[in-house]
Chain A
Amino acid sequence: MSEKKQQVSRRQFLNYTLTGVGGFMAAGMLAPMVRFAIDPVLQASSGGDMHAVVDVSEITTEPQRFDWTIEQVDAWYTSDVTHSAWVYKDDNDEIVALSPTCKHLGCAVNWAGDPDHPDQFFCPCHEGRYYKDGVNVPNTPPNAALDLFEFEVREGTLYLGNAIERGGDN
């Protein structure tokens, strides 16, 4: 009997084939949709652009200013924009990277810029002052602490990302 010898019947063979082809088609449609759905998650994990700024060995407990240039594209106009950060190691040997932008009107602050306050950041425009940790000194023009940069250390080099705003302190 030839029918008994057949391991796969015609009906089964068609079933398998259709399931297989159908499966491929469904996967082809679903895969891009899943990728679209989880795209925001993948984006967030990359955490913005980080830029190599300085060798970690150069960082001391005294704040130093480091500049770096990034290419910024505004519509069709590309320009080089310079950013700066005040970087130092605090008492726990942790790196602190402060944005130099004064929270008052956006001037660049300097470490020890005011001879009367050698252990504070000083804004030359309207005499705003900040403590070493970036918190604003009360009764000076700024009303918030200096922004902190996102940072990471890879192979001995400090990379800085976006400046993150902290809340006001008074």
Chain B
Amino acid sequence: MKWQTKNLALYFQSQEYVDTLCIPLIPIELKNELEAIKLADQQKSLQLISDELERNFTGRIFLSPSYTYIKESDFDAESKRLNQWTSSLSQNKFQHIFFLTYDVNWKKYENNLEGSLIWLTANSIDDYQSDQTKNWIKSQINQISELIRSYW
């Protein structure tokens, strides 16, 4: 389910079935043009993957709006804030919490996070309609699905 009016009504009706929270972590910055373009591209591709994942597991995964942060922030402080943010959002209703990200910086702070970090290697996508992209996304989804299902 998503953060959308229709989905939320269904979520409150069937909370007991939705036990998994997915939060995409999106870094942003505007200092450097090339870096900004890269991050925007990654955001789009991560959004595609999270949406597709949500489509496959609508009845069990709640896809939260992305957690957005400044790329060069202090990850110690950022991970504390993220934990706080996550626990207020989940209110202990979710048994499984997954963070989806392309940002390798989180990897070092993985143990501080109250949830499982799924770090994906980024792949710059030029043509979102090409078969190659679709297959790449499909294989990513299959691998992430397998990981998430191993937690269930």
Contacts and interface: CB of A to CB of B under 8 A. Distances in A.
Nearest to B145: A124
Interface in A64-90: 67, 69, 80, 82
A125 B59 contact: yes
B56 A105 contact: no
B143 interface: no
Interface residues of A, number: 15
B59 A106 contact: yes
Given A82-B52, A126-B17, A107 B60 contact: yes
Contact of B60 (A82, A101, A125): A125
A104 B59 contact: yes
A108 B56 contact: yes
A102 interface: yes
A126 B59 contact: yes
Interface residues of B, number: 16
Contacts of A126: 17, 59-60
A105 B59 contact: yes
Residue from the set A82, A105, A108 with the largest chain B CB neighbour count within 10 Å? A105
B38 interface: no
A105 B134 contact: no
Contact of A108 (B14, B18, B55, B134): B55
A125 B134 contact: no
Given A67-B134, A125-B17, A126-B17, A105 B60 contact: yes
Nearest to B55: A108
Contacts of B145: 124
Interface string B43-63: 000000000100111111000
Contacts of B10: 105-106
B8 to A, nearest CB: 13
A124 B149 contact: yes
Contacts of A107: 56-60
B129 interface: yes
Contact of B58 (A69, A80, A82, A105): A105
Interface in B40-95: 52, 55-60
A107 B60 CA distance: 8
A104 B16 CA distance: 13
Contacts of B58: 101, 105-108, 125
A82 B134 CA distance: 11
Contacts of A105: 10, 14, 17-18, 58-60
Given A67-B134, A105-B14, A124 B55 contact: no
A108 B149 CA distance: 14
A169 B18 CA distance: 25
Contact of A102 (B52, B59, B129): B59
12 contacts: A69-B129, A101-B58, A102-B59, A105-B58, A105-B59, A106-B59, A107-B57, A107-B60, A108-B55, A108-B56, A124-B57, A126-B60
Interface of B: 10, 14, 17-18, 52, 55-60, 128-129, 134, 145, 149
